[in-house]
Amino acid sequence: MNIHLTPFSGRNFEYYSEDGFLSGRFGAATVHGTRSKGVITFVKHFALNDQETMRTTVATLSNEQAIREVYLAAFEPSVAGGDEGTLGIMLSMNRVGLVWSGDHRGLVTNVVRGEWGFGGVVITDQASHPQAFPLLAIRAGLGAGTDLWLNSGTDNWQIDGYASNPTVMCQLREASRHILYAVSRSLAMNGISSTTEVVPAMATWQ
């Protein structure tokens, strides 16, 4: 869903257009068609992914008007599409201003979930490993609303004392809820056997 901002971007062959409105319409139609087959789509790279070279360190600078009218306009129709909208969003690797996209609460929570009503899962891109981003990014990412870290093993992400930290536990439960929401609205549910009992998450919370 990113924009053809420069001919030197290494992903232009994946992007729809240099216009936010057209990209939004193309993307929404693609998501609708895919979701009709029960697939979880992940629209990417959210947001302001302008280049491939050194994209784990680049800081994309813009003002709010341009971000909303150009960059986010390409994503909104796919994300805010209700029952036909995407169930997943993949983040970008760059920083928006000085904040990495996965730690950017303004984008991940305020815009996507607050303004657009998104209830699905937000995942990082594959650069979310310790060499690219330190452990601090996990803690800040949970607080920002990021749910999953791509290409990360359980041995890479250890948050000391998480089980006794009510803030972290609440954020982990919220991330789990987003993941289960997406899966429950896909054809992945067809694989549950007739003897499986699905218990609402709230029933187990104390």
Residue with tokens 């990014």: 137
Q: Report yes or no: 153 and 55 within 8 Å, Cβ to Cβ.
A: no
31 to 39, 65, 75, 130, 140: CA distances (angstroms): 9, 26, 11, 32, 29
101 to 22, 45, 65, 160: CA distances (angstroms): 24, 10, 18, 23
- Please give the Cα distance from 152 to 133 (Å, whole number): 11
Annotated active-site residue 125? The verdict is yes
3-state secondary structure of 91: strand
Active-site residue (options: 50, 103, 125, 147):
125
The catalytic site residues sit at 125
